[in-house]
Structure 1
Amino acid sequence: MNLNQILLKNSHRVMALMLLSLHAFLIFFDKDVAFRQMFYFLSFGIFLVWQPVWRGNQKLSLVALVGLVAIGLFGFFYFNWWLTALWLAILFGLLGGRIFSGDSKKNRLIHILAASYLLAMLLLWVVPKLLKATEDLQAAEFVIFYMMPFLPLSILFIHNTLSLADDSPVVDFFYTLMLFMLAIIIILGSYAIGTLQQVNYIQVMFYTISGMAVILFGLSYLWRPSTRFSGVELLMSRYLLSIGMPFEHWVKNIATLAEHETTPNGFTQAAMNEMMKLGWVSGISWMADETRGQLGHKTSYSTEFNFKDFYMTLHSRWQMSPALYVHVKLLTQIMGEFYEAKRREETLRQNTYMQAFYETGSRLTHDIKNILQSVGTLVTAAQQTSEEDNEDLLKLIKKQLPVLNQRIAATL
């Protein structure tokens, strides 16, 4: 087992170490600059080892590498409580989003403990620092200093039940973004209430959490359909499944083209013509193996898609939305699968033709050889026959020549 597999198997323990170093960073934020910078680099470095976005064996692009280095240096020189709150909100979204995934109960418990720790530190330590209301929560310092570290420490002793094949980075973008926005609303809402009303921070927390509870209750009521309202869930599903024409109709047309077109290039050309019928598509260029093609005209809004050996650049009339991008990517995969199927069919036809050609040639060679052997036998008999047996030889030749004629005709 190499280092990458060990880190994947113990990713929850790496995450716990990251939270512990982050805890030390938060404690020493206003006390000692040297310790703050040391624990900042330690927590950020462990975060890079743990991060759930890229796999351990995946090579980072130059843009991603420069971005990570820039974030690290920016945090080192300009870190403050606002950036700390933003960083905790990002971590809360990343960890909280994995709670809703299909993991086992133990792995879900790991992320619940981590998300609870981040939310508690955000409300009991970071937001009071933003409001300069630390005197209101002096009683919470004992909990922060000595009790909160038990949450990440308990993660160290939980056995990870995922296998190496399943323990891959999984980030649910929707839930991550939703929880990140929820944390941002809590931070800004608490700051706005505490600044405008000048009340005790306990009251600020009560107002903020009560308001969020009412909003979440209203969203949960509007989310599911009822007799009077179709529900936000159905409206969102309609938005996600709308790409300018019914999805099932487009897939049906592609399947029909796959039945009628016999060659990969013919199917690709027909599929591109079908996609050009979408109102928001301005132009398409594609490359499949050594075949290239282009339809329409280019615009400033271009998006690239690829699936195996099938590459497509789509030029739209306006900026493509995330939902539209996901569905066009799915359509590209469907066309790529049909294209691969057509390639396999063409290869199979060529192999079948060559096999039939070789089998026919082999059979003809065998038949011609047998005919020549029969003719050779007659010639040998004619050469060795005496004059007294000429009449018998003539009868034999008359008898064999029609048979040889039939065999030659059948062979040809």
Structure 2
Amino acid sequence: MNLNQILLKNSHRVMALMLLSLHAFLIFFDKDVAFRQMFYFLSFGIFLVWQPVWRGNQKLSLVALVGLVAIGLFGFFYFNWWLTALWLAILFGLLGGRIFSGDSKKNRLIHILAASYLLAMLLLWVVPKLLKATEDLQAAEFVIFYMMPFLPLSILFIHNTLSLADDSPVVDFFYTLMLFMLAIIIILGSYAIGTLQQVNYIQVMFYTISGMAVILFGLSYLWRPSTRFSGVELLMSRYLLSIGMPFEHWVKNIATLAEHETTPNGFTQAAMNEMMKLGWVSGISWMADETRGQLGHKTSYSTEFNFKDFYMTLHSRWQMSPALYVHVKLLTQIMGEFYEAKRREETLRQNTYMQAFYETGSRLTHDIKNILQSVGTLVTAAQQTSEEDNEDLLKLIKKQLPVLNQRIAATLDKLKAPSEEKKRQEKISAWWKNLRLR
């Protein structure tokens, strides 16, 4: 087991160590500069090891590397309580977004504990520092100093059920952004109420939490469809599950291509060209049976999809989110079904043609056999006829030769019939295809 696999297996413990070092950084923020800087670098370094954006075996680009170094140096020299609140809001979004994913109950519990710790420290420690209302929560300092660390400590003793083979994306952009904005609203709302009303911080928390509860209750009521309203969920799903164009439009285009293209390879090429029109797609490579193809150029973000004998590798401009992955997988299955249908149609056409060919060959063999038997009968009669019967033999031959000629001509016409029928069908198919394209 290499280092990447060890870190992946114990990623929740690395996250817990990051939260513990962050807790020490928050406690020593105003007390000791040396300890603050030490725990800042410690927490930021552990965050870089744990971060869920880049995978362990993925190389960082120069822009990402410079950006991370700049963030670290900026936080070291210019960190204040506002930047601390922003940093906690970002971590709350990253960790809270995993709660809504399809992980197991233990993994969801891990992220619930981590998000609860961050939200509690945000409301009980960071926001009071912004409002300079620490005296209002002096009674809670014991809980903050000595009880809050038990939340990340408990994560260390939870067994993670994540498989080593699980390399799926771990950041859902929508839920992460939604929870990040929720944390920002809580911070700014508390600061605005505390600054304008000049009330006790406990009242500020009551007003803020009550207001957020009312808003969330209203959203939950509007989220579900009813008899009078289709629901915000349905309205948002129409666009959140879109990959650059409405789902119905994309499926309609694929169905149109399936009608116009008669061969599996032609349909696959046309479908790949249709997918390349999406703005976030950089390149596509595919393999179907013994045929291969490639469009565009490769990137560092590649995702593989397969359906039966249809394999596709999609190169995107950024990392694919779980919702987008499920959506593209569904579209791949649709293309695979159309491809299988085209294969069955082509096989059926070939079988029909071969059946007609064999049936024609069987009939021709029977006709030629009868003709040869007639010729053999005439030859036998000629060999056994005496000189006195030559005139009768000549009359017989003159009578049978036109009949044999007609039978041979009919046999040759039957031999030409399959190719002529195939040409006629090809002309009809081409005419019908051009008519539908008008």
TM-score (norm 1): 0.68
Mapped partners of 1:60, 1:319: distance in 2: 13
1:254 deviates by 1.9
Identity %: 100
Task: Label 1:391 to 1:354 Cα distance change in 2 as closer, same or farther (>3 A).
Answer: same
Map of 1:225 onto structure 2: 225
Task: Label 1:133 to 1:361 Cα distance change in 2 as closer, same or farther (>3 A).
Answer: farther
1:358 deviates by 20
Matched-pair contact (CA < 8 Å) for 2:113–2:151: yes
CA deviations 1:342-396 (Å, max 9, x no partner) are 9999999999999999999999999999999999999999999999999999999
Task: Label 1:355 to 1:52 Cα distance change in 2 as closer, same or farther (>3 A).
Answer: farther
Mean CA deviation greater in 78-87 or 98-107? 98-107
Mapped partners of 1:375, 1:273: distance in 2: 62
Task: Label 1:19 to 1:318 Cα distance change in 2 as closer, same or farther (>3 A).
Answer: closer
Mean CA deviation greater in 242-251 or 360-369? 360-369
Mapped partners of 2:181, 2:287: distance in 1: 40
Matched-pair contact (CA < 8 Å) for 1:8–1:167: no
Task: Label 1:27 to 1:284 Cα distance change in 2 as closer, same or farther (>3 A).
Answer: closer
Matched-pair contact (CA < 8 Å) for 2:286–2:311: yes
Q: SS in structure 1 opposite 2:164?
A: coil
CA deviations 1:290-325 (Å, max 9, x no partner) are 999999999999999999999999999999999999
1:139 deviates by 1.0
Task: Label 1:101 to 1:240 Cα distance change in 2 as closer, same or farther (>3 A).
Answer: closer
Matched-pair contact (CA < 8 Å) for 1:131–1:191: yes
RMSD across aligned C-alpha pairs, in angstroms? 8.1
CA deviations 1:63-109 (Å, max 9, x no partner) are 21111111111111111100100000111111111112222222211
Task: Label 1:176 to 1:309 Cα distance change in 2 as closer, same or farther (>3 A).
Answer: farther
Task: Label 1:367 to 1:226 Cα distance change in 2 as closer, same or farther (>3 A).
Answer: closer
Task: Label 1:310 to 1:103 Cα distance change in 2 as closer, same or farther (>3 A).
Answer: closer
CA deviations 1:216-269 (Å, max 9, x no partner) are 001001111112222111211233467898634542442452465356885477
Map of 1:161 onto structure 2: 161
Task: Label 1:176 to 1:241 Cα distance change in 2 as closer, same or farther (>3 A).
Answer: closer
Mean CA deviation greater in 151-160 or 166-175? 166-175
Task: Label 1:246 to 1:298 Cα distance change in 2 as closer, same or farther (>3 A).
Answer: same
1:22 deviates by 0.3
Mapped partners of 2:101, 2:158: distance in 1: 18
Structure 1: gaps spanning 5 or more residues: none
Mean CA deviation greater in 94-103 or 279-288? 279-288
Task: Label 1:64 to 1:306 Cα distance change in 2 as closer, same or farther (>3 A).
Answer: farther
Mean CA deviation greater in 153-162 or 212-221? 153-162
Q: SS in structure 2 opposite 1:229?
A: coil
1:197 deviates by 0.6
CA deviations 1:183-227 (Å, max 9, x no partner) are 100000000000001111000000000000000001001111112
TM-score (norm 2): 0.65
Matched-pair contact (CA < 8 Å) for 1:306–1:332: yes
Task: Label 1:34 to 1:273 Cα distance change in 2 as closer, same or farther (>3 A).
Answer: closer
Matched-pair contact (CA < 8 Å) for 1:54–1:169: no
Mapped partners of 2:396, 2:38: distance in 1: 110
Structure 2: gaps spanning 5 or more residues: 412-438
Equivalenced residues, count: 411
CA deviations 1:151-178 (Å, max 9, x no partner) are 1111111111222123765112221111
Mapped partners of 2:393, 2:90: distance in 1: 104
